[in-house]
Amino acid sequence: MSEDSDTDTDLSTVLSVLDDEYAREILTHTSVEPMSASTLSDRCDASLPTIYRRLDRLEECRLVTEETELAPDGNHYSIYSANLDRLELSLEDGSFDLEVSYNEEDVADKFTRMWEGMR
């Protein structure tokens, strides 16, 4: 269900991303339900370019995931979900250690959601 941090998760990068108010709001909103960038723009009271910049940074740290939804008119759009389960920062023997646990969705559940989105 969770995965410990790997070499791609850099302490200063994650802390820098989480220091941003919009990034924290995006995580908060998408932890409840997946949302489009447009919806996040409304909920966070931020411009779309601001939201997309924060989403890019959050995706780089694997803190959000992006999926494609199919609209009834045949067009498609991206929705974003928080992927952060737990973040633990510890100080031991003179160094910081960052442990990040991610939400890992079952592959069968992911396929079912994708299939239902195409109907």
The span from the CA of 110 to the CA of 114, in Å, is 6
Average pLDDT over residues 5-25: 82
Q: What is the pLDDT of residue 6?
A: 43
pLDDT of residue 25: 97
CA 4 to chain centre: 16
Q: What average pLDDT does the structure give for the chain? A: 85
Distance between CA 51 and CA 46 in Å, rounded?
Answer: 7
Average pLDDT over residues 26-36: 96
Instruction: Give the tens place of pLDDT for each residue, 55-87.
Output: 999 999 999 999 998 888 888 899 999 999 999
Asked whether residue 114 carries a pLDDT value surpassing 70, the answer given is no
Domains of the chain: 11-117 (1.10.10.10)
Whole-model pTM above 0.85?
no
Which residues face 28 on adjacent strands?
A: none
Predicted local distance difference test score (pLDDT) of residue 74 = 84
Q: 81 with 30: CB under 8 angstroms?
A: yes
Query: How many Å apart are CA 95 and CA 53, to the nearest integer?
Result: 31
